Structure 1
Amino acid sequence: MTNLADMAHVTSQETHVWRECRGCGASAPMAPEVNRCARCDGEGGSVKPARRPRSDAGQVRLTERDVAVFRWLADMKAIYEDDLAALAAQVPGTPWTAAGRRPSLRRLQGMVGRWQRAGYADARRLVNGVPRIVRLTRAGAGLVGVDSFRETATVTAFHQCEVSRLRLVLEGRRSPSLGRLTAWESERAFRSDLDALGLARRGQAGREAVHVPDGVATYERGTRVAVEVERSAKSPARLARIVEELLTNYEVTLYAVAGNEVRNAVAAAERNARATLAHRQVSPDRIGALSIIDIPREVA
């Protein structure tokens, strides 16, 4: 008959008692006069020294891609979260996502979460059925050297997102007649230049008013295109004045509109503007072209 004592597996000396080690905090068998386990005392093999905490522990560390996206948003101010993948594919990659590839939804959400925790961006769903809006904060803009940044108000955030989406679509689509889009001048940059020249900003009086388009796209053949996003129709007189100014200042004007009502309003404004310019005997070769498209629903 087998003795149970012979089957026992002795793990410590009889005088040892299981206690908490003062070195590592783990429970281990120790003699009464010892307060550190054998591992902490270096018995039974080498012990790795405790890792010193990082000097930036608890801080959000940014990648080159994060900084590139911040520079883009410093110009555009806001973007739909659903469109961030297309933007991220245009900027430097990371060890997890190669340049030119769109990151997964999980990585995008993690990226936006890091920005929010650091206070560099704000992301929220303002309307059910519409993607979350990601807006750059002053802290995020300051990180890329834009100290005069004004955060986008909620009332204009949707418009900024539509302009951002249209820009991404145009950048990813080569024009048969104009070639590839090579540069984009944002409304923010445009207004900054006007301020430097002492010209009037929107809503100011007493100086010459200058209409600022939502963006100006420059194509590889040198053509500059004024870009406008129109979700609701302005008054006929005001819209005609704006279109007249755009036709005389740009070779091409592109209107992205929401629905037939706005499309018809822009078309009517173009007819009125051309009639006014003809009455003023403006040479036809000094009057630009105008195209109307639907506001894109997504970035392909």
Structure 2
Amino acid sequence: MDAFDWALVLQTIFVIGAMAFIGLSVSWQQVVELLRQRKQFTRGFIANMVLTPLLAVLLILVFDLPVDAQVALLLLGLAPGGMNMLQFTTKIEGRLAHAAAALLVMTVIALLIVPLVIVFVPLPREPGEVTVLGTVVAVLAAVVAPMALGAAVRHRWPETARKVARPINLVSTIAFVAAIIVSASVKKEAAQVLTPTVLLVLVLFVAGTLLIGWAMGGRDPVRRQFLATVTSIRNAGLVLLVAMVIFPRAGVDLVVLAYTMLIIPPNAVLTITKMVQGKRRQKRALKGSELTGG
């Protein structure tokens, strides 16, 4: 196996582990509760599946981008539900179960949309490299099967599911980091796709999705922060796996890798800022109650 094969194996391990973690962590009751909040769900759907894809298309039309970058941006725009969102949304007060359910719903949406785009939209690919429909089926199997298995384990043995979920998520995260490192090392010849213009567009895409989520979150600051994070973190894992399989010799995966590097800092700053503000409010409220009591 060469380095690219190892990168593909590591990325597959990440996707399988991430999907198994979702199945192990999310109950049907949590999903139903999320869908019952129709106003919030509608806002989230519009932000993720209408405004964000439109932003991606607008950036493609405005800027002169390489084809690889156009493909990556289009797929990212149509694929919500990035696993990294759990690292930030679970830190938001009262949003742990909501975050897990939102991740499951967004992942299912991505699974419905991305294969359709690959099969029916005339994206550039090397003829004879892969059978696209067969590859899509294989990718779906790598995603759906572990998620279904995880859900079955949670239903039958909930305590076991709780114990194994975190280790599986840890292994998945390590595999993703390793895949990024290996992929970057074997695609040096395709690094020319990461021009200053492409990096600028990725920054604008991240900033735009954060603003879209924040604006669609309504007046509640907690809901604004939650939707901003959910909207800005796209399903890079799924898109990266698709890119490595469908476009093995192109630079699509490098653009996705660059995107994964760019989404962490702003979401980390947003999360830490809100946590600090929340603690300050709690301290002020505590002091106020002490003065009132005194």
TM range (shorter): under 0.3
Q: So what's the TM-score if we normalise by structure 2?
A: 0.23
The structure that is helix-richer by fraction is: 2
Please state which structure has a larger fraction of its residues in strand. Answer: 1
Tell which has more relative contact order, 1 or 2 (C-alpha 8 A, sep 6+). 2
Higher Cα Rg, which structure: 1
TM-score by length of 1: 0.23
